[in-house]
A and B are shown apart, each in its own frame.
Chain A
Amino acid sequence: AQKVTQAQTEISVVEKEDVTLDCVYETRDTTYYLFWYKQPPSGELVFLIRRNSFDEQNEISGRYSWNFQKSTSSFNFTITASQVVDSAVYFCALSEADDQLTFGTGTRLTIIP
């Protein structure tokens, strides 16, 4: 069965610091997809990134970057020069051939001004 682990329940950093959110997954499929979603205090879920299992290239989008390593079954998310607006709960998720998303339990990130 597929599983996603976000071991960091809560993280607090001072504004402008870099922060990495960890995500470790388990799957028996060779084809799968990994996602990150952001849930700000307003409650909605915002899609951030989708990565398929055949593409291990790291991705950067502004201050956000993602490090996908199949060897360690990890898909970590780094925010560079954090800002108060980055304060949110971040979810990592996995889908296999059945297209059902399995979510991690989330990491609550607090950026201290």
Chain B
Amino acid sequence: DADVTQTPRNRITKTGKRIMLECSQTKGHDRMYWYRQDPGLGLRLIYYSFDVKDINKGEISDGYSVSRQAQAKFSLSLESAIPNQTALYFCATSDIASTDTQYFGPGTRLTVL
């Protein structure tokens, strides 16, 4: 079984809808991250969390919110989706014991019409 899972893997929605992307991990890592990938732009950090009580904004947090429900779960919400949020979204985890290397989930492809 995969160590980092993301649901859904693909989602098509309409402008204005609320969307939640979920991430779960079995690696036992404390730190979790959400990124988005756009063609030609690489990956950009949206939010990150170093433990359950710690949430931090990344480079492009506007229009997004997150919830760290447990050490193993980190959800990303789009309160009112807009077309320019169409992208590939990745969750990642890391732990200081693993020398901070980030391990990524399989990604969620989100299309906002």
Chain A residues within CB distance 8 Å of chain B = 9, 33, 35, 37, 43-45, 47, 50, 91, 95, 99-101, 103-106
Tell me if B101 is interfacial: C-beta within 8 Å of chain A: yes
| Chain B 26-81 residues near chain A, CB threshold 8 A | 31, 33, 40-45, 48, 58
Are B99 and A45 in touch, CB under 8 angstroms? no
* A101: chain B residues within 8 A (beta carbon): 33, 43, 45, 102
Are A35 and B88 in touch, CB under 8 angstroms? no
Bound together, the chains give a CA A43 to CA B109 distance in angstroms of 10
Are A100 and B42 in touch, CB under 8 angstroms? no
Are B106 and A99 in touch, CB under 8 angstroms? no
* A95: chain B residues within 8 A (beta carbon): 100
Are B94 and A50 in touch, CB under 8 angstroms? no
Are A35 and B42 in touch, CB under 8 angstroms? no
Q: 4 shortest A-B CB distances, which residue pairs? A: A45-B104, A103-B42, A105-B42, A103-B43
Are B100 and A44 in touch, CB under 8 angstroms? no
* B103: chain A residues within 8 A (beta carbon): 47
Decide yes or no: A44 and B42 within 8 Å by CB, A50-B101, A101-B102 being known contacts.
no
Pick the most buried of B31, B90, B101, B106: most chain A CB atoms within 10 A of its CB.
B101
Which residue of chain B lies nearest to A42 when distances are taken between CB atoms in the complex? B106
